Amino acid sequence: MIGYCSVKDVQAIFEAAQDIIKIGPTEADNFTESDVEGYIKDVEDRLNAKLRAKYPVPFPIPVDDVINQITKRRTAYDLVVDSPIGINSVELPVAVVEWKGKAIKDENDILAGRILLAVSTREVRARLLTSHLKQTRNVSIGISGYDWNYIGQEFIIPKSIIVRAGKDITSEIFVLGVDYEDDAREGMIRRLPDGGIADGQTVYLSFSYLETQDYQKGTRIEKNSFDGSYW
């Protein structure tokens, strides 16, 4: 297995569901193996984006069994949605809907800490040696106008900021480059014109940051002011 799941993993799901989708090289098949690999990669990218505030991503291979389960269920669901079954049906089969529901539940349990993933010790050690210690903060801030807002940590890991409309991890997630932009090194964020963040709106941020050696020793002084609250 070169990714979070294999084509055979996805095929096994469909075989257990009476072969509702066919994967293979013939014209009678719904998707080729190459097609499925593309779907798997798309699911991996989305999963990395969702879990990056909790774990260093991408996950080392072989992945924890929970990540494998999420990936193959999400991939199988996406394939059905894009197949004639999904396109021509008013409702998807119950089993297919359950695949997505189970995957989302596992994702949310990981983010909430109810599921702890087994990550390779060697991989974690290598990452810690190169980036010191990665931690996660959760804060809420009010964003007004289009000025930069300081969020109190100038060593935020690039591409780690997730901005939500509410505290709940299932709430709307705003899109970087569309709704807001950030300067991770300086720990700043601002809303963008025509984006989905309203003037004066309170948004909820999760982001990973680095603890430098000075910070760990307690000698580092925060350079940025922080106008917000932790939760």
* Integer Cα distance of 164 and 212 in angstroms: 27
Put the strands of the sheet holding 201-211 in their side by side order: 162-164, 201-211, 133-143, 228-230
Q: What is the pLDDT of residues 102-114, one digit of tens each?
A: 999 999 988 888 8
Any idea which residue has 């990936």 for tokens?
A: 71
pLDDT at residue 224 greater than cutoff 70:
no
Instruction: State pTM to two decimals.
Output: 0.54
- The bridge status of strand 201-211 relative to strand 188-191 is unpaired
Burial letters for 92-116: b for 16+ Cβ neighbours within 10 Å, e otherwise?
A: beeebeebbeebeebbeebbeeeee
The model's confidence at residue 223, banded by pLDDT at 50, 70 and 90, is very low
pLDDT at residue 152 greater than cutoff 50:
yes
Phi and psi dihedrals of 202, rounded to 5?
-85, 125
Please give the C-alpha separations between residue 202 and each of 139, 149, 171, 195, in angstroms, as whole numbers.
10, 12, 13, 14
pLDDT at residue 36 greater than cutoff 50:
yes
As a whole number, mean pLDDT of residues 9-36 equals 83
As a whole number, mean pLDDT of residues 133-147 equals 80
How many C-beta atoms surround the C-beta of residue 174 within 10 A?
22
* Integer Cα distance of 98 and 115 in angstroms: 19
Domain boundaries, the chain: 7-112, 132-230
| Exposed / middle / buried, residue 132 (Cβ in 10 Å: 0-12, 13-18, 19+) | middle
As a whole number, mean pLDDT of residues 80-108 equals 89
Q: What is the pLDDT of residues 187-213, one digit of tens each?
A: 789 999 999 999 999 999 888 776 655
Least confident of 42-46, 147-151, 224-228: 224-228
55: helix, coil or strand? coil
The model's confidence at residue 215, banded by pLDDT at 50, 70 and 90, is very low
